[in-house]
A and B are shown apart, each in its own frame.
Chain A
Amino acid sequence: MVSADLLATLVPALPLLGALSIGFGRRKLSANAAGGLATALVGLSFVCSLLLFFGHDGGTRIVHLFNWITVGTMHIPFAFQVDSLSLWMMLVVTGVGTLIHAYSIGYMHNDPRVATFFAQLNLFSFAMLLLVMGSNFLVTFIGWEGVGICSYLLIGFWYTNPEYNYAGRKAFVMNRIGDVGMVLAMALLFLQFGTLNYTEVSAQAANFSPGNPLLVGATLLLFLGATGKSAQLPLLTWLPDAMAGPTPVSALIHAATMVTAGIFLVVRSSVLFELAPYTQDIILWVGVATALFGATVGLFQNDIKKVLAYSTVSQLGYMFAALGVGAYSAGMFHVTTHAFFKALLFLGAGSVIHALGGEQDIRKMGGLKNTTRTTYLTFLIATLAIAGIPPLSGFFSKDGILASTFAQSPLAYAVLVFAAMLTALYMFRLLFLTFFGTYRGKAHPHESPAIMTVPLVVLAVLSAIGGALNIPHVFGGHEWLKQQLATAVEAVGAEHLALSASTEYLLMALSTALVVLTIWYAWTIYGKKTTLEGEPADMPLPKRLVAKRWMLDELYAAVFEKPYGWLSRAFFSVGETRLAVPLTAGTGKAAHSVAEWMRKLQSGNTSFYLFGMMLGVVVLLLFTLLSV
């Protein structure tokens, strides 16, 4: 039996090995070799995680690798924290990651830089594992920045297109705003606790009284970091643009794993958040607002991946709403099921795009359910799951969140249910427009190869039965996942919600009935549609506002970009041309003109030099005599 410490080290080390070997050998490796190696290493990492998971005794194990920073009283070890929370995230990251790696072999096989792609994908897996496994904020932060840079690289993977480069840059800058929050939060926590280790911070924080201003500040800053990474209001505009990357990237990074980093961070420091009720309220309402925002905008997108991107934004909003009411395990459960069905949706979308030779506009799709049968069926399962149709996984996870929210704030519950109806509407709009009706494009659709469809099927099975992980008590389950996580997550607040079984049944029936109604409504509008609404400019005003994404990009352009431009130009015309240039160039000019005058002394006349020397000696002598 391999020791648990070694296994825990191997989990992130294997993808790193893959990233390095494929990265350096990218000119030698064939496309299939690079893809195979990358998949195998992440797969092995998954096996290690599984072994760790089944050998886990429920406690918290710190795997100390080395002392990283030792300055004065500051001791930051480079260590991994293996507990039920990080183990669960490891399983999701490596498990879904393996499937997406395998799928990428098929999806990317024609790309000239396929080896680079797999190296970056492996590097991403490594960074994400570092993020979830770190035993202190700083190790997590390395992973945090690592996934940021990988996201940038992969969004701009097809770098010859300037649009894609801008998208990558936007993601990077938006994330940077959030990262500032995280860095400041770390500084604040370190000042207060003198350590950044999760276990020690949590232990010491227990001595604080709820609502302590320091904790509120730190948690708000942490949440700012989380909004950046997890695409919440106000830092969400990068995620839809991030769809510029290859579709497996969208699936892996922008749906299944990286965007859940913010959720993970909040859950990891749940002790702090529990002591800051003010922050929790903000999280709840940011989450609810984002869920509604994503769902409304998703209705009007015509790019298949953009619809899914806004859907991701919306679903992440649900998760944050759960965290806001303290239902951490419900949030983590939704992270898990969402990883299954959203990865499946993205990979299915990728399969459709692949089938149509790169077409992403759903107005040019339709009728694909016969030509791409497997893709259609798996996509259907994922759509039902995300809409929350029982007994698919999304029903259980979304219902968990809704029930917890209802206990805390009925208003938030109502908004979330409305967003759930919108979710069903835009998802079935997508499904009907893509797979039903008649084909409106010009390409020749064909089903994708097995290397792409097999991951789809696996994910479809997981999306269908994933709900079994956390069956609530009212259905005779034992909330297995919640009990697993209970050792790592402070189970407080709404986790012990006092809803009676009948209330819970009623809530479930209500949301399910509304969703089914919405699906029927979607069928009547989009089921057999052949023509489609045009550009946002042609719509009436309220519709146009939503279709143009609530003008959020335009708002940021007006509030931040333009003033920033003005400021830059002002600094250029005043600071640069009037101040900096005269100062720097003026110094040089002054030295030059002095030298021009001084060099006349260098006449070449030896007698003159001699005279100068004598004069100097006499002056020195006189000076000495007089000063004594």
Chain B
Amino acid sequence: MYPSRFNYEAPTSVEAAIALLTEGDGEAKVLAGGQSLIPMMKLRFASPATLIDINNIPGLDSHGADADGTYRIGALVRHADLEKSTTLPDHLPLIASAAHLVADPIVRTRGTFVGSVCHADPQGDWASCMVALGGSIVAQGPNGKRSVEVKDFVAGPFQTVLAHNEIAIEAVIPAAKGTRAGGYLKLERRVGDFATAGVGLALDMSGSTVNNAGIGLTGVGAQTINAEAAAAALIGSSLEADAVENAARLAAEASNPRSDHRGSADFKRHIIATFVKRLASNVQRAEAQVA
């Protein structure tokens, strides 16, 4: 309940924040929404020497699509901003369907999308969505910006490839190859529970044909899992039963869950397969309604 002492900095530009991170020499941490970091500090699982609060940096709090369809989510966009967005469901049905399942309604007013990806909790929802969408994180450091695909960005449980003096300033989701479809399902025992298992499915469709697919798995491994083979099984299909069945099986095989009080490893694998099928069937149902 009582965090350790730290130095607090509240820079007003990304550059200043990077300079402070450089100065911190690995002992400084960026504070955005703080909804994962502060609880860890209260339990003293984390005790950074310096906190660099980026909430006062202008220009990081917007999200939207570029002319070419590329979607950008700034580092200070809160979960609730996405949940309440009226335009997001058309652009990114996967993100829209996951937004109201992240944590609980109060945490969502404060926690950030990019911060959640950077937290790299294997039970985090957003990294799975980003993996499914082939999204990237833009990291800015003393030598400028670089873009890292989220599947490569997460390096392990609670670990990313961010250098100690880099800040994740935005998430970028490439334009769809067709019409975007998909969604997110997670098994949680109650609101705010960590996922027993979760699946994010992103599809780019031409009519009923899948042009491109991505599947991210939550809570079933030491880190977010990119179920590439499962996604590949859907590409070119029209979500026929055998293609979906195949993808579900491959997704379950890609998962690497452990047995714990939330369920056995077998059960979690079964949930992964079940959710892949349910998500695909939801897409078909939506297609049928449009048609």
Partners in one complex: no
Residue numbers of A with Cβ under 8 A of B are none
